[in-house]
Every structure is written in structure tokens, then in C-alpha cells.
Amino acid sequence: MKDKREEIELRSEAFNEVLNTIPAWIIRWGITMIACVVLILVIGSALFKYPDIISSTVTLTGTTPVSRIVARTSGKLQEVYVENNSWVKAKTLLAVIENPAKTNDIIWLKELVSQAESHLDSIALIPSRQLQLGSLQSIYSSFYLSMSEYRQFKELAYHLKKIDLVKEHIVKNEIYYTNMLKQRKLSEIQVGIAHQQYARDSLLGIKGLISKEAAEESYSRYLQSFLSLESVDRSLENLQIQLVQMRESLYDAEYQYLDQKNKLETQLRSLVNYLKTEIDTWEINYALITPIDGEITLMQYWTNNQNVTAGNIVFNIIPTCQGEILGKALLPAERLGKVKKGQKVNIRFSSYPDKEYGMVKGIVKNISLIPLTDAQNTKSYMVDIKLPNGLKTTYNKELPFLPEMEGQADIITEDISLLERFLMPIRKVITESL
């Protein structure tokens, strides 16, 4: 019995030794398999890449955006000239906010000022009718007086008539001077003849062939002809002096004319510019004018006597030509680094669920260089998204363009592998510890 127990114990120890000893080939194959699995995981994580998606709200607009007409002054709508969905041309007066001036009088004055700005002489005499111009009344009165004075200056033409008269005197004196020159030539000839006659008579008198009285008479004729020549020379000198004085008078008259004309025109143009500035100010404060061609959309305000508040949008003008459709997305500054030009964008519109209509494909066209700051002092960058296929979706459906239609833009950034994403925190820790 004892021998059997010892035999069992011996066999148990041998069996345990076999069980506790792992064969070397199993260890080698096990390590190899684990290494292969780890290597496959590392290679797979290095090869498997996927992008980050940066989402933001996007608003559709055209290169010619919707124009909002904002009230600059609080008050009642005095006159509304348009109806909802009507088409208007640029610079059309849409409505006027209540003010002391009459709109028709302001419009008439604006046309007059525009005419005066291009050509003062083209303005007819301003009618002395009573205008209701509000704050422009005093400056218009000055303009009216200045314009009347200028018109009187042009119509009387006192300086021009004086200039013409002086020119006429100059011409007559120049003709007279020319005639005197001819007379001088004749006097010179006469002096020459008288001198020759006197020389002959003197010689004859010396020889006793003529009397002394005859010789003296010949000398007297010579002196008279010489004095006549001297008189002509004095007259020519006086004429030259008179011509110089007349030309001086002409220059003075021309200077006075130009000086008076420039003074009146400068004063008038100054008042015209002042009036133009005041009219522009009136339009900014009280007139609602469309800057573009388009269709009127009325929302809160549509008729006379409605109260508007400064800063409120009174009209929306949808442009006739929208131009190229673009998406505008705002991205926070901390998320901008991954976004680059040319990256793809998937756009989903809240009005058109993507499960039913699909997505619109876009491309990042431009990123603003300067951030926008909102009321909370948060900085964001504007990203322009180009739509190569317009509003055609991935389901081949064409979505209608609605101004300022909003949706969600998913910007697909560069692919990053799993291995890089795993190593990023480690690299950050190592970099910061150096």
C-alpha cells in the first residue's frame, strides 16, 4: 500500500513538471504572432487616414448681395412711392421720412443744382416762387441772390461793352496812325524838295541872279515844310502814347471783367456745392433711395404714416442680377488653421433636408486676412465658398436660390492617419518638456 502511494506521488511530480514546462517553439510562435499583430496595427494606423470636418453656418449670397435700406432718422413715413414686389431702378426714391421740407421742392432744387454744377450759363433766371426747403431755406436764399447777381452781370455785359468800345478806339487810332505815317512820308518828300529849291535859290542869290527877298522866301518855304514834318512827328508820338494808354485801358477792362466774373462764379459755385452737400445730407437723413436695380420686398413697413426707428430696415432690394452664387461662412480663429483654399465643402440646407434633396458641393475659394469682431469681442474669419455646380445637389436636384438662405457647411480638411493622431499628444508633451 505504501509502495503504491509513493508511485502515485512520483508520477504526479513528473506530470506537474511536464505541465509547468512550456515548449520553446510555442513561445517563439507566440511572440511572432503578437509582433505581427502589433506591426499590422501600426502599419494599418499609419495607412488609415481620415479628415477632420469643420462645421459652420453658411449663408448664400450673390456677388451682388441683397441691399437693405435702413432708416437714418426716426419718424413717420411721409410718402411711400413703391409697392411690394415691384421692380425699381437704381437711385429711385422709395419713400420719405417726415421732415420740414417738401419733397417736390427738394427734387426741383436738386435738378437746378445739378444743372448749375455742370454749366452755370445754362441756367435760366430762377423763378422767385416760394419753396419749402426746411433747413436748406437760408442757403437757398443766398444762392438765389447770387444767381440773380450773376445773371444780371451776364445780361448787362457792362465790362464786355466797355472792352469792345476800347478795342474800337484802338482800331480807329491805329488806322489814323497809319495815315499819319503816310503823311509823314509826303512831308519828308516836301522837305526834300523845299531844301533843294532853297539851295538853288541861295546859289542864285549869291550870284545876284535873284533878289534877296526871293531867296529868303525860298528859305521860308523850306522852314515851313520842315516844321510841318516836325508837327507830323509830334502827332505820331502823341498817337503812340494814346495807343499805349488805350491798350492799358483795355487790359484793365479785361482784368476787371475776369475778376468780377471769377468772383461771382466762385461765390455761386461755392453756394452750389454747399447746396449739393445739404441736399445729400437731407437725402441721407430722410430719403430712402435704392442703390441698385431690383425687386422691392416690404416687411414691417408698407404704407404712409407708419413710424420707423433709426437703424431699422425699411426695404429690402433683391438685385435683378445676382451674379455668382457664393457661400459665406464664419469660422472662429482657433479653427481656422486647418482650413485652406481648394478644400471641399459639403453644404446642407435646413430648408431642404439632405436625406431628401442631397447635399451641395462646394470649394473653399477665399479666406479673409483680417478677422471680424462681434459684440462679445469674439474674432471670426470670413470664408468664401464657391459652388462649381451651382445649387445642383448630389441627388441631381436643382435647388432654387433664395437670398441669404442658410445651411450648414462641413469643410473637409487634410487627411491625418490614426498613428499621427496617437502621436500628437506624445509629441506635444515632449516638445513642451524641452
Residue 215's pLDDT band, with cuts at 50, 70 and 90, is: low
Asked if residues 23 and 284 have their Cβ atoms less than 8 Å apart, the reply is no
Residue 1's pLDDT band, with cuts at 50, 70 and 90, is: very low
Mean pLDDT of 103-118: 85
Does the pLDDT at position 271 exceed 50?
Answer: yes
Instruction: At 252, list the grid cell.
Output: 484793365
pTM over 0.75: no
117 CB neighbour count, 10 Å cutoff: 13
Q: Lowest mean pLDDT: which of 269-278, 387-396, 423-432? A: 423-432
Q: What angle do CA 336, 341, 343 make, to 5 degrees?
A: 90
- CB-facing half-sphere around the CA of 388: CA atoms within 13 A: 11
Does the pLDDT at position 216 exceed 60?
Answer: yes
Look at the chain and count its residues: 434
For 326-363, the pLDDT digits (tens) are 888 888 877 777 888 888 889 998 888 888 888 899 99
Closest CA to 283 of 111, 404, 64, 106: 106
CA–CA distance, 30 with 352 (Å, rounded to integer): 56
pLDDT at 269: 87
CA–CA distance, 253 with 171 (Å, rounded to integer): 16
Mean pLDDT across the chain: 78
CA–CA distance, 108 with 103 (Å, rounded to integer): 9
For 295-336, the pLDDT digits (tens) are 888 877 777 788 888 888 888 888 877 777 888 888 887 777
Q: What percent of the chain has pLDDT over 90?
A: 1
Mean pLDDT of 11-35: 65
Strand pairing report for 313-319 and 344-349 = unpaired
Mean pLDDT of 227-239: 76
Asked if residues 163 and 253 have their Cβ atoms less than 8 Å apart, the reply is yes
Q: What angle do CA 194, 195, 196 make, to 5 degrees?
A: 90
pLDDT at 150: 85
What single-letter amino acid sits at 433? S
Does the pLDDT at position 10 exceed 60?
Answer: no
For 41-95, the pLDDT digits (tens) are 767 666 656 567 788 888 888 777 778 888 888 888 888 888 888 888 888 888 8
Mean pLDDT of 397-408: 85
Better-scored residue on pLDDT, 221 or 147: 147
pLDDT at 42: 67
pLDDT at 332: 84
pLDDT at 126: 65
Task: For residue 14, count CB atoms less than 10 angstroms from its CB and return exposed for 0-12, middle for 13-18, buried for 19 or more.
Answer: exposed
- CB-facing half-sphere around the CA of 188: CA atoms within 13 A: 7
pLDDT at 279: 92
Query: What 3-state class would DSSP assign to 284?
Result: helix
CA–CA distance, 201 with 281 (Å, rounded to integer): 98
Domains of the chain in start order, with CATH, are 2-47 (no CATH), 64-92+290-321 (2.40.50.100), 98-286 (1.10.287), 323-433 (2.40.30.170)
